Chains A and B, each alone.
Chain A
Amino acid sequence: MSVKVKREYKTVESGPFDYWEELHPVVRKNYMKWVSHSNPRPGLLINTAESGDVLYTVRAGTQRQNTVDTLRFLCDIADKYADGYLRFTIRNNVEFMTPNEENIEPMMAELEAAGFPVGGTRNSVTSVAHTQGWLHCDIPATDASGVVKSIMDELIHEFRRAEMPAKVRLSTSCCAINCGGTADIALVVRHTRPPRINHEALANTCEMPKVVARCPVAAIRPTTVNGKPSLMVVEEKCMYCGACFGACPSMEINHPEHSKFAIWVGGKNSNARSKPTAMKLVAHGLPNNPPRWPEITEAVKTILYAYKEGAKPWERVGEWIERIGWPRFFELTGFEFDEHMIDDYRHARTTFNQSAHVRF
């Protein structure tokens, strides 16, 4: 029996944490008044302000799934070398800013010694944007954190150096919702079978009209099973997106064998040179193979090193492919272009070659 204690405290709906006091004093002094930046070596950024002040930023990779212990260690580094301030990038890197040039070397050495690799700037392969996975998500078919650890163990030297033609962004997602986001190379789970329906649980746990409405191809219909209302899936229509599973856990889409990986390339958010582009499918049906997912890492390396070899300076993966053409991309990587890579969903025609521009 729990006894309700009267709550005295009154919530303050304060929104985002106040940022001003969280900024390094040199940042506050030169706010909005920066004139140039440079990246003299991997893991180091230098920013110069109108006032002549110079700010050094050291960047290091983290495991994203941190603990109070790892964060306290990063706080120790910040207190020791960066006047008690730090920040995180959207790709889970940690950054320390300091006006003291002499702090750079010891800070980098201490981070590296503690296992936080220094790098991830400019033309590097930086940390992988990724999703929650089996640790916490309710609909994951894999564990993105483990996939990322496995890939980055093999690519850590590309994080520490900056030797790619341009920056390379990777992402990993545990289902087709793709929370990892668009990237130069993205690894996204794709289901390959319609959901199995748990009719016993469905009527008690799911709001059926919502599940029907959730399906993008109208493949879900009401039905009666053993005298109880339930749902059915028209298997010819279903393309295994898993949207119904998000609305109803009785639409069991995850499968230990049939949930596979697909690889997508050429996504780009930046407007530099070419317009932002969505990523495109270049491989599918790869095994979901914990704890190390070797097939995924191998495929990423194949694409990455073909790109490194062939791209011109500043060309992102998608821009490189745009120049050399898709036939050449498949030739260089040894991946197979198959009929499933020809779009047959909405917006499909925008992806067809409506010209006689053909490469041999």
Chain B
Amino acid sequence: MSTNGKDGANGSNGKHGANGTHGGKDGEEKFLNPTPMLDNLETGEWPSFITGFKKLAERTQKPMLRGIMDQLEYSYETNMGYWKGGLVGVTGYGAGIISRYSMIQDKFPEAKEFHTMRFQPAPGSHYSTRNLRAVCDIWEKHGSGIIATHGQTGNLMLQGIEESKVQECFDDMNQIGWDLGGAGATVRTGSSCVGPARCDDTCYDTLKLHDKVLSHFTAYVHRPELPYKMKFKFSGCPNDCVNSVMRSDFAVIGTWRDEIGVDPEGVKNWIDENGMDTLVNQVISMCPTKAITLEGEDLNIDNKSCVRCMHCINVMNGVLHIGKDRGVTILMGGKNHLKVGVMLGSVIVPFMKMETEEDMDNLVELAETIIDWWDENAFDHERIGETVERIGMKRFLEEVELEVDPNMVNQPRDNPYFKTPY
């Protein structure tokens, strides 16, 4: 299937990233111009993106790649970046292509255009080689051949294409099932942990919910009509492997309401294997709410005090288990520094069942209500966490009709200045 997989693959000569050699034999004419600064990044054992780029360029002889290497070398020399944005899109969509024009086109005309196409991978970033090879073939045909796996929001990023080829490339990708991701003031591409594919700690089907939510909001993904970006992330348990609490506006984290499962025989075997001191020092004394006590060799867990942090289950995997009455906690408002400073998401729904289609529809409906509220109330370029901080959580909860719950706060307010109806 691959057009030229063997010749250029890093693995085929066993020298990928491990040394400074690159395409072409010594003494032969090289396609690329010298890049002495970048060549510094070819030594050392960690995989070298520079070696990869150079091999790709020498094999495919695409002028764009030579221009990119020249401009990147120039950035390394001058300590500055040289890209500016613009407007590039595909028919019917207003987002998904990140356009880049060089500010120094006269210097490096081959790198004049270097647009990126963001595509939404399968939830959990799972691939069949059939699919990934097809993507590689389409991308080599239309674009530079550089692919980032993956962007920080979760997109497969095809980096480096000219505007004139964007539509054809999209059409080819779309015909094999790929759709663009979000950019700018849109619902952004989602991200989900490995979840039910492999993990025994997952409290709901992260892949399915990801698919359902992002499919529902697909019009918002492709058309920038919102105040700013809106990110969804789906973690199967409170270990939060996709970092949803700070990296998404709408974090869906799996949890359970009933008791932690304990296998008493397993506990005894675990103690035999790891020692009583390990149990005391690494499990019991590290429980954040002191919910575990020891009676002989039996663990007693006070499930009413347990906060579902996952620590004891992580340490004693296979012996302790997540509960059976499972669902999700929703935290809203996570974002990074700009503009009010970093914010972590906070609880807006302590527990919601997430097993049936109807449960998932309820979550989608809630998300839609919340996005509508934000759309009506936000300033331009304001993330939902900032909007809620400005307007007040009390008013937000009231207007989207969410029931207040003490799980939403660390403590009740400690000042008396609030208004009550009279």
Interface positions of A (Cβ within 8 A of B): 2, 7, 9, 11-19, 21-24, 27, 31-32, 34-38, 45, 47-48, 55, 57, 61-79, 84-90, 92, 94, 97, 110, 113-117, 129-143, 145-146, 148-150, 152-154, 156, 176-182, 210, 213-214, 216, 241, 243, 247, 249, 254, 256-257, 259, 267, 269-274, 276-279, 288, 290-292, 312-314, 345-347
Q: List 25 A-B contacts (CB under 8 A).
A: A7-B171, A14-B174, A19-B123, A31-B196, A36-B318, A63-B49, A64-B49, A64-B149, A70-B47, A70-B52, A87-B194, A90-B241, A117-B47, A135-B159, A137-B81, A138-B100, A178-B337, A181-B243, A213-B380, A269-B246, A270-B239, A270-B240, A272-B239, A276-B240, A290-B76
A136 and B159 in contact (CB under 8 A), knowing A72-B136, A149-B44?
yes
Counted as pairs of residues, one from A and one from B, with CB atoms less than 8 Å apart, the total is 403
Tell me the bound Cα distance from A32 to B336 in angstroms: 33
What B residues does A143 contact at CB under 8 A? 72, 75-76
**Chain A min CB distance to B262 (Å):** 14
Which residue of B56, B83, B238 is within 8 Å of A137 (Cβ)?
A: B83
Given contacts A67-B55, A68-B147, contact A138 B46 (CB under 8 A): no
**Distance between B31 CB and nearest chain A CB, rounded to angstroms:** 15
Question: B246: which of A132, A181, A291 is its contact (CB, 8 Å)?
Answer: A181
How many angstroms from the CA of A32 to the CA of B194 in the assembled complex? 11
**Are A67 and B241 in contact, with the CB atoms below 8 A?**
no
What residue of chain B has the Cβ atom nearest to residue A97's Cβ? B198
Distance (whole angstroms) from the CB of A50 to the closest CB of chain B? 9
For the complex formed, measure the closest distance between the CB of A314 and the CB atoms of chain B, giving whole angstroms: 6
Residue B211 CB within 8 A of the other chain: yes
Task: Find A9's partner among B2, B41, B171, B337 (CB 8 Å cutoff).
Answer: B171
Contacts of A274 in B (CB 8 A): 288
Q: Is A178 within 8 A of B336, CB to CB?
A: yes
Bound-state Cα–Cα, A63 to B68, Å: 18
With a 10 A CB-CB cut-off, give which of B47, B218, B246 has the most chain A CB atoms. Answer: B47
CB closest chain-B residue, reference A151: B46
Cα–Cα distance between A15 and B211 once the two chains are bound (Å)? 8
Given contacts A47-B199, A276-B245, A313-B282, contact A88 B123 (CB under 8 A): no
> Is the CB of B207 closer than 8 A to any CB of chain A?
yes
Q: Are B215 and A15 in contact (CB under 8 A)?
A: yes
Is A11 in contact with B174, judged by CB distance below 8 angstroms?
yes
CB of A69 within 8 A of CB of B52, answer yes
User: Is A11 a contact partner of B205 (Cβ separation < 8 A)?
Assistant: no
A69, B197: Cβ atoms closer than 8 Å: no
Closest 5 CB pairs of A and B: A153-B44, A114-B11, A115-B16, A36-B318, A256-B79
- Contacts A35-B200, A214-B381: A69 and B9 contacting too (C-beta < 8 A)? yes
How many Å lie between the Cα of A18 and that of B207 in the bound state? 10
Question: Does A62 contact B47, Cβ atoms closer than 8 Å?
Answer: yes
Residues on B with C-beta less than 8 A from A288 are 79
B9 CB contact (under 8 Å) in A70, A259, A345: A70
User: Which chain A residues lie closer than 8 Å to B245 at the CB level?
Assistant: 269, 271, 276
Once the chains are docked, how many angstroms separate the CA of A16 from the CA of B221? 11
Query: Other than the known A17-B131, A68-B136, A152-B46, what 19 A-B pairs have Cβ atoms closer than 8 Å?
Result: A9-B174, A11-B170, A14-B174, A16-B179, A19-B122, A22-B126, A48-B200, A57-B198, A63-B52, A64-B149, A66-B52, A69-B4, A73-B10, A132-B148, A138-B84, A149-B41, A150-B44, A181-B243, A181-B336
Q: How far is the CB of B141 from chain A (nearest CB, A)?
A: 10
Contact A249 B211, CB 8 Å, known A71-B132, A71-B136, A288-B79: no
Closest to A292 in B: B40
Given A276-B240, A292-B40, does the pair A216, B72 have CB atoms closer than 8 Å?
Answer: no
Residues on B with beta carbons closer than 8 Å to the beta carbon of A63? 17, 46-49, 52
Interface status of B104 (Cβ within 8 A of chain A): no
Task: Assess whether A13 is in contact with B126, with CB atoms less than 8 Å apart.
Answer: no
Which residue of chain A lies nearest to B167 when distances are taken between CB atoms in the complex? A7
With contact pairs A27-B197, A181-B336, A271-B239 given, residues A115 and B10 touching in the complex (Cβ less than 8 Å):
yes
Interface SS of chain A: helix, strand, loop or mixed?
loop
Does the CB pair A182–B246 fall under 8 Å?
A: yes
Listed stretches B85-93, B291-299, B362-370, B400-408; interface member: B85-93
Which of B37, B49, B202, B341 is within 8 Å of A149, CB to CB? B49
Instruction: Give A94 to B159 CA distance when docked, in angstroms.
Output: 19
Q: 0/1 per residue, B40-80, Cβ < 8 Å to A?
A: 11011111111011011001000000001000100110111
Which residue of chain B lies nearest to A131 when distances are taken between CB atoms in the complex?
B152
Would you give the 0/1 interface string for B228-250, flagging 1 where the beta carbon is closer than 8 Å to chain A?
Answer: 00000000001111111111000
Residues of chain B within 8 A (CB-CB) of A133 are 81
Least CB distance, A259 to chain B, in whole angstroms: 8
B contact set with A: CB distance below 8 Å: 2, 4-5, 8-12, 14-18, 37-38, 40-41, 43-50, 52-53, 55-56, 59, 68, 72, 75-76, 78-85, 90-93, 98, 100, 114, 116, 119-133, 136-137, 139-140, 145-150, 152, 154, 159, 164, 167, 170-171, 174-175, 177-179, 189-191, 194, 196-200, 202, 205, 207, 210-211, 214-215, 218-219, 221-222, 238-247, 253, 281-282, 286-288, 307-311, 314-315, 317-318, 336-342, 344, 379-381
Bound Cα distance from A77 to B40, whole angstroms: 28
Q: How far is the CB of A31 from chain B (nearest CB, A)?
A: 5
Question: In the complex, are the beta carbons of B210 and A16 less than 8 A apart?
Answer: yes
A130 to B93, CA, bound (A): 28
User: By the criterion CB–CB under 8 Å, are B215 and A64 in contact?
Assistant: no
Return chain B residues, CB-CB under 8 Å to A86.
127, 129, 132
Alpha-carbon separation in the docked complex, A129 to B151 (Å): 9
A61 to B338, CA, bound (A): 31
Chain A residues whose CB sits within 8 angstroms of the CB of B282 once the complex forms: 313-314
**Bound Cα distance A74, B136 (Å):** 12
Residues of A near B197 (CB, < 8 A) are 23-24, 27, 31
List residues of chain B with CB within 8 A of the CB of A64: 49, 148-150
Residues of A near B307 (CB, < 8 A) are 271
Q: Which single member of B131, B218, B244, B281 contacts A22 (CB below 8 Å)?
A: B131
Closest to A36 in B: B318
Would A156 and B46 count as touching, CB distance under 8 A? Answer: yes
Residue of B nearest to A128 (CB): B46
User: Which listed residue (A73, A247, A346) contacts B340, Cβ 8 A?
Assistant: A346
Contact (A134, B53) CB under 8 Å given A69-B145, A88-B125: no
Return the chain B residue nearest A246 by Cβ: B338
- Distance between B160 CB and nearest chain A CB, rounded to angstroms: 8
In the complex, which residue of chain B has the Cβ closest to the Cβ of A290?
A: B76
Chain A residues within an 8 Å CB radius of B49: 63-66, 145, 149
Cα distance, A255 to B237, chains bound together (Å): 43
> Which of B2, B53, B79 gathers the greatest number of chain A CB atoms within 10 Å?
B79
Cα A268 to Cα B310 with chains together (Å): 14
Q: Are A153 and B76 in contact (CB under 8 A)?
A: no
- Looking at the assembled complex, report how far the CB atom of A345 sits from the nearest CB atom of chain B, in whole angstroms: 6
Per the bound structure, the CA–CA distance linking A92 and B149 in Å amounts to 6
Q: Residue of A at shortest CB range from B189?
A: A16
